[in-house]
Structure 1
């Protein structure tokens, strides 16, 4: 997959089959669109193109509202889109100036003049252009003038699985990992760098990797203890994770800490991926480290049951 930032430097693309959107989380609803454009591109002997916008439009247009947390960083999204067969990923920098572009201007300058789109596929609720004025009806009415054919993934197709990025965010904020996993079609992931912590876990036989999540817009699920898998250096390990303020040791800030089972070695300064499998319990304050240690043994046994 080739990635372009902005519209410059894009080569001529063979029979482009295009879709557009934020695709946050690349969930099952998104995957229906991706599967369809791959199918159409194969039939046309063409190539798939996905236009996305970064930063997320809501982060730019409504910065003072309750801050939106995203299911995927750009890097995570790009990795997933490549997995689902996208040939060309175009990331258009989203600014307030860009948001003033009308739907007609966007279609003509981007889809027609720049990409020479052969086919356009959009989800039933997709809108674009200033004030989200453009939609399927407008495209359908003017598709012949634009020179490309148009297809909409119907409401029935998407609603059949009842999935949306908002539903997944809500599930993660409630610790409902089962629902989030079902809607994503995979385990939710966190990517970060292992940094040095206070090493309290090491003192009670449960050394933890203190994982720094660098993007403040990335959604961190509900505080508590989780069964997870950890990928590091190309290998995966069963593990458990705590998200929270560590009240038993009077912690003052939220941390993400993972204890890997059957791992030996140094994790400092390594990039790790955490795959969430199950929510085990809420974080709580124990009466000292001995009580905490006893609970961690129970958590470990429960976590190991999630293969």
Structure 2
């Protein structure tokens, strides 16, 4: 997959098959669209192109919305790398860009820049100034500019349509099972291991403190999770606490991971943590000994989950 940072840097003499969208989460529904795009393009001996935008439009147009995204841009690129796409175009989204009309979007970008032959879009897709463009206008423009449009229906899991919004809600409410089911992979957090207060080590449970740099990245509900990470090629399991450490000091949010049967120094390493299972809500204990007792119970539950499910 070739990644291009601005649509103006793309050119193709041959016709292309294209999809467009923000694709936050690259979830089950997105995957079906991309699978269709890649398959159709290969069958027609054409190149597949996914056009997405960064920053997310709501980060530009609704700066006070505090939107939290399922994926960072790097995570999204990594997920799309596995799909068989020929080209990923990440176009900078700006207020100026948002003023482009639906007609200008189709004519200037899809037709003139991408040399489009077929457009595959998801259900209820909107584009252009004030989101004025839709499947009706796309169909009209496709006749005008000689390309094909295909709309993929909403994808259902257990009779519920999958969407990025529903996944965000599930993550924020602790419903990790539903979120991972809709995503088609484990939700992940990525960050560098930084120095903490090393309190975990003092109670027999040393932790890696994960610093998630991107302030727009969604952090799931506080609580304890079963997790795994690939550390120097080794699949390593553990449990993670997202919270404010109410029993200790409770003054700021932390993300701490205790890896099982592991004693290497991780400071400075960049880790991707996959969230497998939500164990319990964050709790405040009356004493450190009560906290240790609960952590031991958490470890047993986590190890049993790993043994029986993975």
Q: TM-score scaled by structure 2?
A: 0.95
Per the alignment, residue 92 of structure 2 pairs with 93
Per the alignment, residue 122 of structure 1 pairs with 121
The unaligned stretches of length 5 or more in structure 1 are none
Per the alignment, residue 275 of structure 2 pairs with 276
Contact 1:17 1:49 in 2 (8 A): yes
User: Distance between the aligned counterparts of 2:13 and 2:223, measured in 1?
Assistant: 47
User: Distance between the aligned counterparts of 1:13 and 1:20, measured in 2?
Assistant: 20
Alpha-carbon distance, 1:14 to partner? 4.1
User: Distance between the aligned counterparts of 1:10 and 1:139, measured in 2?
Assistant: 22
2:238 is the counterpart of 1:239:
yes
Contact 2:106 2:141 in 1 (8 A): no
Q: 1:259 to 1:168 in 2, by over 3 A?
A: same
Per the alignment, residue 67 of structure 2 pairs with 68
SS in 1 for 2:89: strand
Alpha-carbon distance, 1:13 to partner? 6.2
Contact 2:209 2:256 in 1 (8 A): yes
Contact 1:16 1:115 in 2 (8 A): yes
Length, aligned pairs only: 305
Contact 2:14 2:115 in 1 (8 A): no
SS in 1 for 2:247: helix
Contact 1:15 1:45 in 2 (8 A): no
82-91 or 210-219, larger mean C-alpha shift? 82-91
Contact 1:244 1:255 in 2 (8 A): yes
2:207 is the counterpart of 1:230:
no
SS in 2 for 1:222: coil
Alpha-carbon distance, 1:87 to partner? 1.3
Q: TM-score scaled by structure 1?
A: 0.96
Contact 2:26 2:76 in 1 (8 A): yes
SS in 1 for 2:168: helix
Alpha-carbon distance, 1:9 to partner? 2.6
Contact 1:18 1:51 in 2 (8 A): yes
User: Distance between the aligned counterparts of 2:68 and 2:13, measured in 1?
Assistant: 34
User: Distance between the aligned counterparts of 2:81 and 2:124, measured in 1?
Assistant: 24
Q: 1:81 to 1:14 in 2, by over 3 A?
A: farther
The unaligned stretches of length 5 or more in structure 2 are none
Per the alignment, residue 58 of structure 1 pairs with 58
Per the alignment, residue 10 of structure 1 pairs with 10
**Pairing 1:83-162 to 2, within 5 Å after superposition:** 83-155=82-154, 157=155, 162=161
2:192 is the counterpart of 1:179:
no
RMSD of Structure 2 on Structure 1 (CA): 1.3
User: Distance between the aligned counterparts of 2:197 and 2:81, measured in 1?
Assistant: 38
Contact 1:277 1:306 in 2 (8 A): no
Alpha-carbon distance, 1:42 to partner? 1.1
User: Distance between the aligned counterparts of 2:241 and 2:13, measured in 1?
Assistant: 46
SS in 2 for 1:247: coil
